């Protein structure tokens, strides 16, 4: 039997009782597999790695060490939430690495999208490797691989999984949710007690805000991006759209246009709103944001975000436009 193939007899996990049965079964399997050894996990705070962390905490507690790398490209409030949920509430061993300066220094003046992804991926592995070397007696590496990742093994996620570690840091893999689809991972996460805004989170690319701060990333433009994204998310949540729209975010491109404020000319960036619906990200349609809500978001971004003097709404479906701008 190929352990990477979902058996046809496996029931789709659609409710809490099925999730609890899965959790009980996995806890037992994990305890058997890991014994009294130690496990390491790169915890991004995305739903997949968060569910794996919660499962492992339940199964082996302090034998798990989670490493959360803040690369400066996370959304507003995310690193804080990882610390709050896993360290403060679940009492996990959590190493929080503030690598913001390292990443942003490496990314300075890098404008090619593929090169940016490469820099982020390579630096991530370097930081993770350094942390792994500081720990002793680790035998297992846990990963939030899910079934679609296996089905498209050269897919989107491959680049930000920590598969590129050197030979002396090759651990046995622990992948407890590798046969689950995304919706099942969410049901399991909910049953494990993870907060809703973690469980029903929209897809977020590995290179994070880096692909939405187009061209060479600067700290001030990245900050404008983070703040405008936070306003958009807040207003969507207030309007009851969280969890209903596939993906919604802002982009702040690396060019400016003229504005005027208090009789003074401004030379500032535009902010682009993107909100799309999709089933599997291979195609996407535009979310029709009600005009009143759109207007509210535009007003708030213009009033509250430094460096933005214009807000645009991207109405382009995929294809031909990809969901992300880079
Ligand atoms: P595109 O932009 O190709 O995106 O229409 C399709 C889906 O994939 C996400 N995406 C990425 N995810 N690393 C990731 O982990 C990446 O480099 C990356 N690029 C795009 C995107 O957010 C959308 O959900």
DSSP-derived secondary structure letter, 87: I
Q: Residue 154 CB: number of other CB atoms within 10 A? A: 7
Q: Report CA 55 to chain centroid distance, whole Å.
A: 18
The whole-angstrom separation of Cα 147 and Cα 155 is 12
CA atoms within 13 A on the CB side of 214: 14
The whole-angstrom separation of Cα 138 and Cα 292 is 54
Distance from the CA of 157 to the center of ligand 1, in angstroms? 8
Cα first-last separation, the chain: 40
Q: What is the pLDDT of residue 86?
A: 98
Which residue minimizes the CA distance to atom 22 of ligand 1? 205
Q: What is the pLDDT of residue 263?
A: 95
Ligand 1 surroundings by CB, under 6 angstroms: 117, 156-157, 160, 203, 205-207, 211, 247, 281, 318, 322-324
Q: What is the pLDDT of residue 299?
A: 98
The whole-angstrom separation of Cα 188 and Cα 110 is 39
**102 close to 135: Cβ distance less than 8 angstroms:** no
Residue 101: both structure tokens together? 């300066």
Which residue's entry shows tokens 């942390």? 131
Radius of gyration of the chain (CA): 21
Which residue minimizes the CA distance to atom 19 of ligand 1? 205
Distance from the CA of 165 to the center of ligand 1, in angstroms? 23
**130 close to 165: Cβ distance less than 8 angstroms:** no
Triad 143, 144, 149: Cα angle to 5°: 110
Q: What is the pLDDT of residue 169?
A: 83
Atom of ligand 1 nearest to the CA of 159: 13
Q: Which residues of the chain have pLDDT under 50?
A: 155-156, 158-160
Q: What is the pLDDT of residue 154?
A: 55
Beta bridge partners of 308: 269
Distance from the CA of 12 to the center of ligand 1, in angstroms? 26
The whole-angstrom separation of Cα 160 and Cα 122 is 9
């Amino acid at each position: 039997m190929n352990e990477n193939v979902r058996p046809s007899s496996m029931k789709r996990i659609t409710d809490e009782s099925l999730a609890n049965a899965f959790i009980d079964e996995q806890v037992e399997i994990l305890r058997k597999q890991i014994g009294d050894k130690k496990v390491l996990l790169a915890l991004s705070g995305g739903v997949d790695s968060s569910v794996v962390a919660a499962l492992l905490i339940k199964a082996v507690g302090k034998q798990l060490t989670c490493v959360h790398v803040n690369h400066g490209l996370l959304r507003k409030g995310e690193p804080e939430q990882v610390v709050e949920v896993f360290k403060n509430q679940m009492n996990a061993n959590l190493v929080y690495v503030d690598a913001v300066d390292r990443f942003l220094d490496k990314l300075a003046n890098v404008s090619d999208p593929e090169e940016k992804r490469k820099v982020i991926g390579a630096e991530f592995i370097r930081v993770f490797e350094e942390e792994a070397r500081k720990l002793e007696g680790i035998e297992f590496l846990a990963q939030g691989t899910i079934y679609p990742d296996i089905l498209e093994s050269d897919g989107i996620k491959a680049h930000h999984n920590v598969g590129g570690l050197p030979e002396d840091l090759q651990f046995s893999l622990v992948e407890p949710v590798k046969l689950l689809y995304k919706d099942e991972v969410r049901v399991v996460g909910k049953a494990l007690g993870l907060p809703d805004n973690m469980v029903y989170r929209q897809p977020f690319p590995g290179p994070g805000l880096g692909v939405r701060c187009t061209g060479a990333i600067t700290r001030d433009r990245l900050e404008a991006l983070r703040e405008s994204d936070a306003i958009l998310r807040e207003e969507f949540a207030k309007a009851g759209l969280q969890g209903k729209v596939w993906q919604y975010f802002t982009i702040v491109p690396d060019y400016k246009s003229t504005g005027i404020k208090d009789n003074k000319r401004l030379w500032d960036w535009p902010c682009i709103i993107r909100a799309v619906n999709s089933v599997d990200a291979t195609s996407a349609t535009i979310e029709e944001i009600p005009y009143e809500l759109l207007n509210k978001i535009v007003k708030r971004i213009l009033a509250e975000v430094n460096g933005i003097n214009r807000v645009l709404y991207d109405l382009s479906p995929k294809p031909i436009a990809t969901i992300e701008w880079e």
